[in-house]
Amino acid sequence: MRIVKNIWDQFKEYFVLVFLLLISVLFISRSDHPSVKNLKTTTFGTFAFVTSFFSDVLPSTGLKSENTKLREQNAKLMLEVNKLREYGIENVELKNLLSMKDTVSYKLISARVISKSFSSDQTTFTLDRGKEEGIKAGMAVVTGEGLVGIVERSSKDFSLIRTLKHLNFRVVVKDQRSRFQGILHWTGSQLIISNLPKTSEIKLGDRIITSEISSFIGQPFPIGIVKKIINPDEGYFNNVLIKPFVEIEKVDNVFIVAVIPQKIKNSVELNYYNSEHR
């Protein structure tokens, strides 16, 4: 007994460290469990409530209402311009077709960023709008410049946004000129489209937008431009570095695109956000 006590006295810091690290690893492995997510939504909503109270007293710009209107108009114009660009390119490609249906209607919900959590791997924002305004997980979040991220979860009055600079953010994108598609993701330091075939005709400066085949962002939102093409000597694939249009760190006001879900598509595709609510 004395030996055990001696060992404990001598190494208790190590025992406690290992024990707590194991618990942490257990939490990491259970991070996506529905019950854990519900608990996180509750605690996040509570903290966001406190944050919103204090964020109101921080320096705010004047002419708030006019600014909000102008930003909304700007965001709508951005979406319209992008849609028109798409139609222009599609018209060339599909000139033999008689017409195309416009199946997309954008409803924009304005929101303010009330807190930001920065890290090189997981940048998240908290918005002052939630389920009360019809915001649901998976909805796209944009500014006048382009896509900011997606709604990760929402409580009654607040939403948590997974930005482009989040390791778990992945979206199907395409080169607006060459139409090549790939999966965009954040590496911790760069926004990258990886494993594009070397035969893809992507050029520096090409505009990258979200692809219609994405299971949760089915509209063409601007992402950024091609900054660098990494062409390794070996293998069959290139990596493409993207410079985002939106400066994520400087975003203060955003719009949530409340798009009617594409039921047929969602029922066919494996949708991460549907499985979340099962």
Partner 1 sequence: MKFEKILPIVYFIPVLLVQVLIVPYFELNGIVPDLILILVVYYTLKYGQLYGIVLGFILGGILDFSTGSILGSSMFTKTLSAFIAGYFYHENLVTSVIKSPQFLGAVFLASIVNAISFSLITNFDISLNIFSLLFEQGLLPAIYTTILAGIIVVLSPKRSYS
- For partner 1, the binding residues (CB under 8 A) are 12-13, 16-17, 20-21, 23-31, 36, 39-40, 43-44, 47, 50-51, 54-55, 58, 114-124, 126, 152-153, 160, 162, 165, 167-168, 187-189, 248-249
- DSSP letter string over 80-109? HHHHHHHHHHHHHHTTTSS---------EE
Cβ-based nearer residue to partner 1, 12 or 107: 12
- DSSP letter string over 207-218? EEEE-TT-SS--
Q: What does the alpha-carbon distance between residue 278 and residue 276 come to, in Å, rounded to a whole number?
A: 6
Cβ-based nearer residue to partner 1, 53 or 90: 53
Cβ-based nearer residue to partner 1, 126 or 210: 126
Cβ atoms of residues 240 and 182 within 8 Å: yes
Cβ atoms of residues 192 and 224 within 8 Å: no
Cβ atoms of residues 256 and 221 within 8 Å: no
Neighbours of 129 (CB within 10 A): 21
Among candidates 276, 262, 183, which has minimal Cα distance to 216? Answer: 262
Q: How far is the CB of 254 from partner 1 (least distance, A)?
A: 15
Q: How far is the CB of 86 from partner 1 (least distance, A)?
A: 30
Cβ-based nearer residue to partner 1, 56 or 201: 56
Q: How far is the CB of 225 from partner 1 (least distance, A)?
A: 19
Neighbours of 184 (CB within 10 A): 25
Q: How far is the CB of 148 from partner 1 (least distance, A)?
A: 14
Token pair 């190590």 in the structure block, residue: 14
Cβ-based nearer residue to partner 1, 95 or 250: 250
Cβ-based nearer residue to partner 1, 132 or 249: 249
Cβ-based nearer residue to partner 1, 114 or 202: 114
Q: What does the alpha-carbon distance between residue 131 and residue 215 come to, in Å, rounded to a whole number?
A: 21
Q: How far is the CB of 167 from partner 1 (least distance, A)?
A: 5
Tokens of 211: 């692809």
Tokens of 159: 């939403």
Q: How far is the CB of 178 from partner 1 (least distance, A)?
A: 26
Q: What does the alpha-carbon distance between residue 174 and residue 183 come to, in Å, rounded to a whole number?
A: 8
Q: How far is the CB of 264 from partner 1 (least distance, A)?
A: 31
For residue 112, the SS3 value is strand
